[in-house]
């Protein structure tokens, strides 16, 4: 039995669940948003204990039967309306601690819950990428307008990008114009990331599942001018082979982060070097699979069923 912690309507989870069933296995999707109505947890510690028992609606999942877990974009349990914010936060932490107390002991999990959280930190990503041998863009994170102006004057073309996702809006990476005014008030609210703009090359989406590396070049439609390809709904993908030194960098990065799944965004620069932009430990992949004919769902299902190499 494979347990997928995700949202019930997540198409990636549904695709992998389907692939697991094609292999003769079974998988259940656990959505923590409906925790109180649909999920019972029992964690027993002591002589003769069997660990954690998870029950989803009428489908009991015995921990002895759980052979793999996919911890994917897990939603927080819905708050209880008649309780205050602090109490709801406390209860959510108790649920989180109970589940992770079980999951931290599992060897076949994508991705290990302790590593997944730190792998999402974009500043740590850049440090690990550089240590792994990647070229990285020069980067500045600051609340100071004068630092940004000096950074822009030195590099010329720079971009602004978020370090985290927004719950209600997609924030794309954008070019900062040479004459653009910098909003002091907005800067004072929180740190902002600026990077050297890598212009003129190809965008690559590289999805890694254990030892398998699936690289795809983004084929932008004619006339698309955004520096960030993700808002382009008509983009297609073509499978490509990465140079062995780039694959080596990827494998060193994955090992250093301690993760089994990662979706890398790379871009080639004017010298043909593969520049690391970021790696999402729970990145989307179906658009690459569908448009590029790359069997990523099958690879994730196989990794969950067979376990780490």
pLDDT of residue 9: 87
The answer to whether the bond into 89 is cis (omega within 30° of 0) is no
For strands 68-71 and 203-209, give the pairing: unpaired
pLDDT of residue 12: 95
Of the listed ranges 109-118, 191-200, 224-233, 295-304, the least confidently predicted one is 224-233
| DSSP-assigned states of every residue in the chain | -EEEES-TT-HHHHHHHHHHHHTT--EEEE-GGGHHHHEEEEEE-STT--EEEEEETTEEE-GGG--EEEE-SPPPPPPPTTS-HHHHHHHHHHHHHHHHHHHTT-SSEES-HHHHHHHT-HHHHHHHHHHTT-B---EEEES-HHHHHHHHHHHSSEEEE-SS--SS-----EEEPTTPPP-HHHHHHS-EEEEE---SS-EEEEEEETTEEEEEEEEPPTT---S--TT-TT-EEEEE---HHHHHHHHHHHHHHT-SEEEEEEEE-TT--EEEEEEETT---HHHHHHH---HHHHHHHHHHH---
38 backbone dihedrals φ, ψ, rounded to 5°:
-120, -10
Per-residue pLDDT band for 189 (boundaries 50, 70, 90) equals: confident
Class in CATH terms, 118-135+199-306:
alpha beta
pLDDT of residue 98: 81
Per-residue pLDDT band for 199 (boundaries 50, 70, 90) equals: confident
pLDDT of residue 231: 57
Residue 86 to residue 94: CA distance in whole angstroms: 13
Q: Rounded mean pLDDT of 156-173? A: 75
Instruction: Say if residue 167's pLDDT is above 70.
Output: no
65 and 25 in contact (C-beta within 8 Å)?
no
pLDDT of residue 8: 82
pLDDT of residue 222: 66
Tens digit of pLDDT for each residue in 233-291?
A: 567 888 999 999 999 999 999 999 999 999 999 999 888 899 999 999 999 999 889 88
If one compares 229 and 16, the residue with the highest pLDDT of the two is 16
Instruction: Say if residue 60's pLDDT is above 70.
Output: no
Q: Rounded mean pLDDT of 144-159? A: 88
Q: Give CA separation, 176 vs 45, 74, 109, 157, 233, in Å.
A: 55, 33, 40, 7, 23
If one compares 253 and 23, the residue with the highest pLDDT of the two is 253
Residue 306 to residue 193: CA distance in whole angstroms: 40
Q: Which of 137, 139, 154, 149 is nearest to 201 (CA)?
A: 137
Tens digit of pLDDT for each residue in 81-102?
A: 888 999 988 988 888 888 888 8
259 backbone dihedrals φ, ψ, rounded to 5°:
-115, 160
Residue 71 to residue 109: CA distance in whole angstroms: 7
pTM beyond 0.95: the answer is: no
Q: Which of 278, 293, 285, 205 is nearest to 10 (CA)?
A: 285
Residue 283 to residue 120: CA distance in whole angstroms: 10
Q: Rounded mean pLDDT of 173-178? A: 80
pLDDT of residue 235: 72
Q: Rounded mean pLDDT of 135-139? A: 95
| DSSP-assigned states of every residue in 232-261 | -TT-EEEEE---HHHHHHHHHHHHHHT-SE
pLDDT of residue 219: 83
239 backbone dihedrals φ, ψ, rounded to 5°:
-65, 135
Per-residue pLDDT band for 225 (boundaries 50, 70, 90) equals: low
């Amino acid at each position: 039995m494979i347990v997928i912690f995700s949202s019930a309507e997540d198409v990636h989870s549904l695709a992998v669940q389907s692939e697991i069933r094609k292999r003769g296995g079974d998988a259940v999707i656990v959505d923590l948003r409906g925790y109180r109505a649909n999920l019972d947890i029992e964690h027993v510690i002591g002589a003769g204990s069997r660990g954690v028992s998870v029950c989803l609606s009428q489908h009991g999942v015995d921990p002895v039967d759980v052979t793999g877990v996919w911890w994917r974009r897990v939603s927080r349990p819905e708050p209880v309306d008649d309780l205050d914010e602090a109490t709801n936060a406390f209860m959510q932490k108790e649920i989180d601690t109970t589940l992770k107390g079980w999951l931290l002991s599992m060897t076949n999990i994508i991705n290990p819950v302790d590593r997944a959280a730190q792998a999402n930190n974009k500043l740590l990503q850049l440090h690990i990428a550089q240590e792994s041998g990647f070229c990285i863009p020069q980067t500045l994170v600051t609340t100071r307008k004068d630092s940004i102006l000096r950074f822009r004057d030195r590099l010329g073309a720079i971009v602004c990008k978020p370090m985290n996702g927004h719950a209600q809006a997609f924030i794309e990476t954008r070019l900062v114009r040479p004459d653009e005014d910098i909003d002091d008030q907005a800067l004072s609210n929180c740190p902002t990331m600026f990077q050297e703009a890598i212009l003129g090359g190809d965008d690559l989406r590289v999805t890694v599942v254990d030892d398998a590396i699936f690289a795809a070049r983004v084929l932008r439609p004619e006339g698309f001018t955004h520096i960030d390809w993700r808002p382009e709904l008509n983009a297609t993908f073509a499978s490509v082979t990465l140079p062995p030194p780039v694959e080596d960098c990827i494998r060193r990065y994955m090992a250093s982060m301690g993760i089994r799944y990662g979706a890398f965004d790379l871009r080639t620069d004017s010298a043909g070097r593969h520049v690391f932009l970021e790696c999402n430990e729970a990145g989307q992949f179906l658009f690459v699979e569908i448009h590029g004919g790359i069997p990523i769902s099958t690879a994730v299902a196989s990794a969950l069923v067979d376990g780490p190499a």
